[in-house]
Amino acid sequence: MVALHWLPVASRGLGLAMAEGLAEAGSTVVVNGRSPETLETAASVLRNRGLNAEIAAFDVTDSRGTQAAIDSIVARHGRLDILIANAGLHHRAALADWTPEAWDQILATNLKACFFLAQHAAASMRQQGFGRILFTSSITAFLGRSTIHAYVASKSGLAGLTRSLAAELGEHGITCNAICPGYFETELTAPLLRDEAFVARVNSRIPLRRWGKPRDLAGVAVFLASDAAPYITGQQIVVDGGYTTSL
């Protein structure tokens, strides 16, 4: 697969693992985040392996910055083939303790930013008659959990956005799908991983009896972005070790 892949928030964790997988498959990856220094470190890891990696530092909640970044990538490479909207925030609070500011911040990053990333990317993809849009969602798009209300709402919103974009963009050769991870070992889940009782409880519900590792997500991203999945669109692909399949 020879393609340009632009990946928001790929300086660590799941995003970096997906970027690495796509680079290994032949893509030129452009990793995004807000810190140029952090991004350069991540891109250097890929380049040191002989992979093609660049950086684009900007805030995904800044629509004008997003547009300028995509325009720059297209101008430099001539096309944009793959977008993975992976940016995400998490906030935990009891229902009575949620504030409008906290709610708006989560929805702005996890849902609104994904919509406008897709809007800007699709403009270029339409012109070339080809594109792959992937959202990093969550199993919370299917399952609720107390205290993370905005996160659950944002991931459920991504499920609907995946379907509506697939319906509109399909005629232009663009597919849109969501990847829904379960429990993965990342910086975001580090506090949970320190709770041995919680880890044991989760593992008891996962048929594979372990949390996912970032590389476990790379394969599905490469598959959905490649020519092996041209007729798959509007779908939510769960990667959770079987967590949501059993009682």
Q: How much is the pTM?
A: 0.93
Q: Tell me the percentage of the chain whose pLDDT exceeds 90.
A: 87
Tell me: pLDDT of 44 over 50.
Answer: yes
Mean pLDDT of 166-187: 96
Place of tokens 């967590």: 243
pLDDT at position 247, please?
81
Tell me: pLDDT of 8 over 60.
Answer: no
Taking the C-alpha atoms of residue 73 and residue 3, their distance in angstroms, rounded to an integer, is 12
Of the two residues 88 and 117, the one the predictor is more confident about is 117
Of the two residues 132 and 190, the one the predictor is more confident about is 132
Q: Which residues pair with 167 in a beta bridge?
A: none
Class of domain 4-238: alpha beta
User: What six digits make up the tokens of 95?
Assistant: 């229902």
Q: Which residues are catalytic?
A: 151
Mean pLDDT of 54-79: 93
Taking the C-alpha atoms of residue 73 and residue 68, their distance in angstroms, rounded to an integer, is 9
Taking the C-alpha atoms of residue 226 and residue 3, their distance in angstroms, rounded to an integer, is 9
Concatenated DSSP letters for 169-204?
HGGGTEEEEEEEE-SB-SSTTHHHHT-HHHHHHHHH
Q: Is residue 207 classed as helix, strand or coil in its secondary structure?
A: coil
Tell me: pLDDT of 6 over 70.
Answer: no
Domain boundary assignment for the chain: 4-238
pLDDT at position 43, please?
93
Mean pLDDT of 60-66: 93
What are the tens digits of pLDDT across the range 223-241? 999 999 999 999 999 999 9
Taking the C-alpha atoms of residue 139 and residue 114, their distance in angstroms, rounded to an integer, is 17
Find the helix packing angle between 113-128 and 63-77, rounded to 10°: 30
Residues in the chain: 247
Tell me: pLDDT of 205 over 90.
Answer: yes
pLDDT at position 101, please?
97
Average pLDDT of every residue of the chain: 92
